Amino acid sequence: MNELWWEILICFLAGAGAGLGTGFAGMSAATVISPMLVTFLDLPAYDAIGIALASDVLASAASARTYAKSGAIDIRNGIVMMCGVLSMTMVGSWLSTMVPNSTLGGFSVVMTLVLGLRFLFLPITSPRHGMGECSRAVQFVKGAVGGACIGLICGFFGAGGGMMMLMVLTLFLGYELKTAVGTSVFVMTFSALTGAVSHFALSAPPRPDLLVLCVVFTLIWAQIAAKIATRSTPLLLNRLTGMILTVLGIILIVISLH
């Protein structure tokens, strides 16, 4: 019984962290869920990645719907980027089967801290000047190439590519933050779905109880966060997400060293 409640607690905390990250800043659920399941429940990294990607699907879809209601999604350019993402996600997922569990799990733990610090000290609060003035053709090429790179990383490391997608949309395509986040979670819905299907097709399905718990908790917190995010300032969104991921990253690294 104690083991059951421990698993529920870990899934709740993982889902809460993942949902807040997804809803606030378009982060992938894998940033939080993968290291949590690997570190605290000794789940194989490949299974943890599959659960994280599956959790990403509904959480991203719910967040995208909330951002769409406030007009903060660029569907046209999002579809272009999505094509690039989907074209490489399965390739990345296949490549990840050749990497040891410790490598995948270790990467997820370190990236949790790195991404948290990135939001705290280098927040993305506004697009770079002039980046939104490029021609439609240039935006098309940048979106497709950026999407392909994101898809490869999404499938390989189990990340929905949210942070990288956010960087591409703001730094290279000139989007303001909320539209970038909305477009990011829109694309992540499909990239995470493709990655999850690939993972489950290439290996035995993970434990269904952990899968359901993570999916439900992530969905609930993503909806809450997205509603708050659409009413908050960009700087506040960066600070909140940065604090959550930094604290979690430090805890995971300390535990992994023992």
What secondary structure letter does DSSP report for 127?
P
- Concatenate the DSSP letters of all residues of 62-121 into one string: HHHHHHHHTT---HHHHHHHHHHHHHHHHHHHHHHTTS-HHHHHHHHHHHHHHHHHHHHH
59: Cα separation from own chain's centroid? 10
Determine the Cα–Cα distance for residues 167 and 22; give it in Å rounded to an integer.
Answer: 15
pLDDT at res. 133: 52
pLDDT at res. 193: 84
Tens of pLDDT, residue by residue over 47-105, are 888 898 899 899 999 999 999 988 888 888 788 888 877 777 677 767 766 665 555 55
pLDDT at res. 48: 87
Structure tokens at 111: 């990236």
Tens of pLDDT, residue by residue over 104-155, are 555 656 766 777 787 788 776 665 544 445 566 777 787 788 777 777 766 6
Q: Are 94 and 155 in contact (CB under 8 A)?
A: yes
25: Cα separation from own chain's centroid? 9
Determine the Cα–Cα distance for residues 192 and 59; give it in Å rounded to an integer.
Answer: 10
* pLDDT exceeds cutoff 80 at 171: no
Q: Which residues contact 99 (CB under 8 A, 6 or more apart)?
A: 156
